[in-house]
Homo-oligomer: A and B are copies of this chain.
């Protein structure tokens, strides 16, 4: 374990480097997951595992799940998490090292990279008071082939995230048609006419594991979620909005701002976020005690 408390395993070996010939570097040829660890457990592991397996299948990468799970166990050992109950493990799976050229033929030794670090939630006030969220000028491209999976081709998110500094907790991205699809690092839900709405992800975006958890559990809270294309205007007119991911959980949106056009449009919510609070309680009782 390094001096700052971080541990990195590459194919089970503690190291801080990977080969320059890794296709994760050359082409973004791989996938990742960011796991929140609580008291030595990964409450959403099954969701992460499903997405990772489905992504590997779509990219034709042979995930060695038994080795990955053994390495996670190693990082989750009591000694490893004794210092702090809150940790993050970022898992990167690449297709492995290869010779020159795009062809993945004969490249069948994937690289597993696990970063374990202590974790303090940024913007801790957002959980109760709500988050300030902006609309990004950067658009998501249209790519049904890669939509949904959490691959390493993330330049769109990098460029979108460079639009602001710390004045907002998150930015939402539209696709080329103007539909709002995804946050740069989170998913979002809209409450409208008492309905729970989530964005359609068939053309772009990442199928967030917390989004999946919420979709699967919504009925317990009296919602039949609708997944469809969402116009920007529908967000500004919403009764309530919240963003979510597997790391921070659920944050109500208190302010949504679009200053990408000639006029600044914004909506503030101060209703007490009743729907977001219900889902926060669900997450707190089943996954992450706050």
Contact = CB atoms under 8 A, between A and B. Distances in A.
Interface in A179-193: 184-185
Interface residues on A, range: 35 or more
A20 B26 contact: no
Contact of A28 (B101, B104, B153, B161): B153
Interface stretch (A140-148, A231-239, A256-264): A140-148
A184 B8 CA distance: 34
A212 interface: no
B16 A16 contact: no
Interface string A58-71: 01100000000000
Contact of A18 (B18, B105, B115): B18
A22 interface: yes
A84 to B, nearest CB: 16
A235 to B, nearest CB: 21
Nearest to A102: B161
A20 B16 CA distance: 6
A10 interface: yes
Interface in A123-147: 138-139, 141-146
Given A16-B20, A139-B145, A141-B142, 8 more contacts: A21-B115, A22-B25, A27-B154, A27-B155, A28-B153, A88-B100, A102-B157, A141-B145
Interface of A: 8, 10, 15-29, 32, 59-60, 88, 90, 92, 94-95, 100-105, 113, 115, 117, 138-139, 141-146, 151-162, 165, 176, 184-185
